[in-house]
Amino acid sequence: MKPAQRISSIQPYFFAQLGKRITAMRSSGVDVIRMDMGSPDLPPPDAVVEALATSARLPTTHGYTLGSGTGPFRKAAARHYAERFEVELDPGSEVIDLLGSKEGLFILSQVLLNPGDLALVPDPSYSVYAVSAEIAGAEVHLMPLLAENAFLPDLGAIPADIAKRAKILWLNYPNNPTGAIADLDFFARAVEFARKNDILLAHDAPYTEVGFNGYQAPSLLQIDGAKEVAVEFNSLSKAYNMAGWRIGMALGNAEVVGYIETYKSQQDSAVFAPILAAGELAFQTDLDWIVERNRIYQLRRDAVVDGLHTAGLHVQPPQAALYVWVPIPAEETSSLDFCARLLEDTGVSTTPGVVFGKHGEGYLRISLVTELERLQEGTRRIADWVNKRY
């Protein structure tokens, strides 16, 4: 059976392949430590799980939620943005619930890009920005995220003709995979750039609630007038440890939110009502819970960073997100090979940087979603292996 052209060059999601290799290794008795994926290992707040159960016990919550069923969640999301970021949003037109933010990222490309259009995509980055553009038949212009620019794109380096053709500019801070952050000055410059070039700014922000040493990430929508040129995607996956629940949202420009809603209404039938109900409650999670959860991640971050130092792998401790971005030894030319050998020899699974784009070559990504002792053990295995070889 011949697939449609639009998917013929699409590769399977990297983690699906890796998962198969790890299952095989485990079934042959290898103690594999997973430090690759970004799926939180800790549970959501108890009250959120209770709210799910309570709502699921009602006889009235099992139908489709399309239409008015999603209203209370959208209101709660708008209230959350007002309280957390002082951003005012109309829940009726400027907020939409999603089956995880990943759904919205994919849909955005489908509703804005025609074949031959162009998307500006950071490199390295989450794969969906580029792949969704390719599936829409659009071109991708990569914006390198380099250590010397603190992993921010150099907007001034985008050629004028490319900026003119571009319809979407993607950003993601706190950043996956680099752990970099962006401040409001950078966001203001990005909004200005988008306005000047008539581009939609798409800010993917699922890590706003994961910060260390008290760091609280801003929203791009805090910039005056941002809503005229931007949408932001956010999610409950990392904020409240609800990755498997599939609940997120797009917020901002009403026209674009409307296009997403129309497309989505043909594609799926919205989030399960009890998950929406639990999601509403998640937004009320008290700050202490978030502070404590982030303290756990911070301990893990420090253990990884310190452990890597003993092998001469010097990394900047990230201030936010769930990842440590590690330069691999200079003599290695392929992060894919390096991580594959590391996995076979030590049983430690990390993500090769090149999976996130060509400017990710020379790095690997370690995720902080494994318990402290296992991360310590994994980092020790990496350090011993590196020390023996380099």
Residues of this chain that bind ligand PLP (CB under 6 A): 38, 100-102, 126, 172, 176, 204, 206, 235, 237, 243, 248
Cβ-based nearer residue to ligand PLP, 135 or 383: 135
Instruction: Tell the smallest beta-carbon distance from residue 192 to ligand PLP (Å).
Output: 23
Query: Which residue, 121, 209, 210, 116, is CA-closest to 165?
Result: 116
Instruction: Tell the smallest beta-carbon distance from residue 279 to ligand PLP (Å).
Output: 11
In the bound complex, which residue of the shown chain has the CB atom lying closest to ligand PLP?
Answer: 100
Cβ-based nearer residue to ligand PLP, 55 or 235: 235
Cβ-based nearer residue to ligand PLP, 206 or 378: 206
Cβ-based nearer residue to ligand PLP, 109 or 346: 109
Q: Which residue in the block uniquely carries the two structure tokens 């699922």?
A: 206
Cβ-based nearer residue to ligand PLP, 15 or 193: 15
Instruction: Tell the smallest beta-carbon distance from residue 322 to ligand PLP (Å).
Output: 8
Instruction: Tell the smallest beta-carbon distance from residue 242 to ligand PLP (Å).
Output: 8
Cβ-based nearer residue to ligand PLP, 172 or 346: 172
- DSSP notation for 351-382: EEGGGG-GGGTTEEEEES-S-HHHHHHHHHHH
Rg of the chain over Cα atoms, rounded to whole angstroms, equals 21
User: Alpha-carbon distance 237 to 246, whole Å?
Assistant: 7
Give long-range contacts, CB 8 A cutoff, 24+ apart: 130-137. 130/357, 131/10, 132/105, 132/106, 132/107, 132/108, 133/109, 133/168, 134/6, 134/9, 134/10, 135/6, 135/7, 135/10, 135/106, 135/109, 135/110, 136/109, 136/110, 137/6, 137/113
Residue 93 gets which letter from DSSP?
T
Instruction: Tell the smallest beta-carbon distance from residue 40 to ligand PLP (Å).
Output: 10
Instruction: Tell the smallest beta-carbon distance from residue 237 to ligand PLP (Å).
Output: 3
